[in-house]
């Protein structure tokens, strides 16, 4: 990034080199390329369809749980691959803890989205996200885990 460094001061190369000190994250760049190849090999449309199917299956299953509220549009095509919800009388932290003990990993909190939570009058929610590796069985375990948490914590 530098031309010359003296005790009294330094001179710098032109951008972008000026802002790139040391060895760049080469492994990361190669990894990203591989990830992109991997996804494109499967097919982006196929991936999106899988995502929507997981959404649909999750919303269908979670909707049946008494006291559970889902946020955002219920049409899976209008969502990205996740479902955010709250459970009546159970704090998101506690619900996610019990789910974790059941081997189901969700996120609890505001998901770096405080303003949208404020918009819905909430402070914290639970979020289940889906990937290409998510199966219907995973979603069934999520629903079962929530029912178990209800029995345990209420």
> Which CB, 39 or 114, lies closer to other proteins?
114
* Interatomic CA distance for residues 146 and 91, integer angstroms: 12
Nearest distance, CB of residue 106 and other proteins, angstroms: 13
Nearest distance, CB of residue 124 and other proteins, angstroms: 4
Task: Single out the catalytic residue among 14, 26, 112, 133.
Answer: 112
CA-closest candidate to residue 132, choices 60, 57, 41, 42: 42
> Which CB, 100 or 135, lies closer to other proteins?
100
E strand or H helix at 2: strand 2-6
Nearest distance, CB of residue 3 and other proteins, angstroms: 45
How many helices and strands, by DSSP H and E, does the chain display? 5, 6
Residue 24 among the catalytic residues: no
Strand partners, 62: none
Q: Which residues bind other proteins (CB under 8 A)?
A: 91-94, 97-98, 100-101, 108-110, 114, 122-124, 152-153
> Which CB, 63 or 154, lies closer to other proteins?
154
Nearest distance, CB of residue 139 and other proteins, angstroms: 24
* Coil, helix or strand at residue 124: coil
> Which CB, 91 or 141, lies closer to other proteins?
91
Q: Cα–Cα distances in Å, from 145 out to 54, 58, 82, 102, 127?
A: 17, 13, 17, 6, 14
Strand partners, 5: 10
Among all residues, which ones are annotated catalytic?
112
């Amino acid at each position: 990034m530098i031309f010359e460094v003296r005790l009294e001061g330094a001179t710098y190369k032109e951008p972008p080199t000026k802002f790139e000190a040391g060895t760049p994250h080469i492994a990361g760049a190669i990894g990203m390329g591989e990830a992109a190849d991997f996804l494109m090999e499967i097919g982006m449309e196929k991936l999106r369809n899988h995502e929507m199917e997981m959404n649909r299956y999750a919303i269908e299953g979670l909707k049946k749980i008494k006291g559970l509220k889902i946020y955002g549009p219920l049409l899976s095509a209008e969502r990205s691959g996740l479902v955010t919800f709250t459970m009546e009388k159970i704090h998101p932290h506690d619900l996610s803890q019990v789910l974790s003990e059941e081997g189901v990993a969700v996120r609890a909190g505001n998901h770096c989205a405080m303003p949208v939570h404020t918009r819905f009058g909430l402070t914290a929610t639970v979020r289940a996200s889906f990937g290409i590796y998510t199966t219907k069985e995973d979603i069934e375990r999520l629903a079962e885990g929530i029912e178990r948490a209800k029995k345990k914590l209420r």
